[in-house]
Amino acid sequence: KKGIMIMFEMDECPFCHRMKQRVLNQAEVQDYFKQHFLIFSVDIEGDVEITDFNGKRVTEKEFAFKQFRVRATPVFGFFDLNGKLITRFTGASKDSREFLWLGEFVVSGAYKETNFPRYKRQKRKELRGR
């Protein structure tokens, strides 16, 4: 695995539901992300206790707000295998292709050189060039 992906979400979030119904349920997306990431979901309003990256017991809410300042959802946090935040993406992606690009953006290491909007523009340009 290349890293860890955490989807920060909440029950009343229409964009979270849209991501689950239109993007995250696609076989291609599931296969790619399962191949490259350990995947977890965190309810930013949740009272369930989890163990954070430092081995400390905290609620999902504390993990989301205090450690990563997640206030809007969905947020996709990408971490290395030691729990260090690599990059994050806030909001729903347009479609499964864009979400796959997000995965490639992280896996390829492109996040070290550019930001995701620029990376997406380049990918769209490549598609049009074909």
pLDDT of 1 reads 80
- CATH dotted code for 3-129: 3.40.30.10
Residue whose C-alpha is closest to residue 68's, from 42, 94, 49: 42
pLDDT of 130 reads 62
Q: What are the residue ranges spanned by the domains of the chain?
A: 3-129
Q: What does each C-alpha distance from 64 to 8, 10, 47, 105 come to in angstroms?
A: 7, 11, 11, 23
pLDDT, the chain, mean? 96
- pLDDT above 70 for 66: yes
